[in-house]
Amino acid sequence: MVTDTHGRAIMAIVNAILGNLPVFDGKGYEDWCVKMDAILGFQELDEIVKDGFQEPSKNASAEQKETHRENKRLDCKARVLLHQCVSANVFQKISQAATSKQAWDILQQVYGNTGRTKKVKLQSLRRQYELLSMTEQETIADYFNRILVRDNFSSRGGNSFKSRGGKRPIDKRKIQCYNCDKFGHFAHECWQIGNNNFHSKDKKNDQAHLAQEEDGSDSDQVLLM
C-alpha cells in the first residue's frame, strides 16, 4: 500500500514536470540550462546528455551490448525531452543531431558563449578607447604624433602584433621634436623646454616635420608634429 502511494506520488511529480517544461526560444539560455539540469537529473538523463556514450566494438560482450541498448534507450528519451524544451526556430539548429549530447553541445556552442563573447568585445573596445584617449600631460602635437604612428603601423600589418597582446616599441630615432628640431624624443620629453631661448618660440606656429622611416625595403614617410 505504501509502495503504491509512493509510486503515484512520483508519477504525479513526473506529470507535473512534463506538463510545465521550460521552452527555450533563444533568450535566457543560462536560466533555461539551470532548469534543464534539474529536469535531466530527475529523469536520470543528465549523464547521457552531458557525457554521451560510446558504440560497442565488434567483439563486445553480451553485457556490453546490453549496456549499449540501455544507453540508446536513455538517449532517445533525452532527445525527445530536449525537442520538447525548445521552440521551433531553435529546434532547426539541433534537428540533425544524432544524439542528445550532440544536440546539447550545439546549443552550448550557439547560445552558451554569447555572454562571454560580448564581454570580450567590451573589453576590447574599452582598451581601444584607452589607447586613443589623450592624457593630461600630452600636448595636441604629441597626441597627433602617437595616432599617426599607430595608424601607420596598423596599415603595414601591425594588427598581427597587436593581436598577440604586445605593445610595439617606438623607434624614437625617427621622432623629431618640434621644440628643438632634434631627433630622438617627443616634444613633452624635450630637456630644453625650460630654457628661456625656447620659451620665446611661438608654440602656436607648430610646424610639421617629415621623418624618413628606413625599414629596409620601403621608404614610407610619416608626418610627425
Give the Cα separation of 2 and 8 in Å (integer): 10
Q: Which pLDDT value is given to residue 172?
A: 72
Query: Which residue, 198, 223, 200, 203, is CA-closest to 211?
Result: 223
Each residue's pLDDT, cut to its tens digit, for the chain (225 residues) gives 446 665 565 566 556 556 678 999 999 999 999 999 999 998 899 999 999 999 988 899 999 999 999 999 999 999 999 999 999 999 999 999 999 999 999 999 999 865 555 666 666 666 766 666 767 777 777 777 777 776 665 555 544 444 444 455 566 777 777 778 788 777 777 776 655 444 444 444 444 444 444 444 444 444 444
Question: Residue 210's beta-bridge partner residues?
Answer: 223
Q: Which pLDDT value is given to residue 214?
A: 45
Distances (CA, A) of 222 to 50, 165, 186, 207: 57, 24, 14, 14
Provide the whole-model pTM.
0.47
Query: Which residue, 21, 46, 24, 38, is CA-closest to 111?
Result: 24
Q: Whole-angstrom distance between the N-terminal and C-terminal Cα of the chain?
A: 93
Q: Which pLDDT value is given to residue 17?
A: 55
Query: Which residue, 178, 108, 115, is CA-closest to 143?
Result: 178
Q: Which pLDDT value is given to residue 162?
A: 45
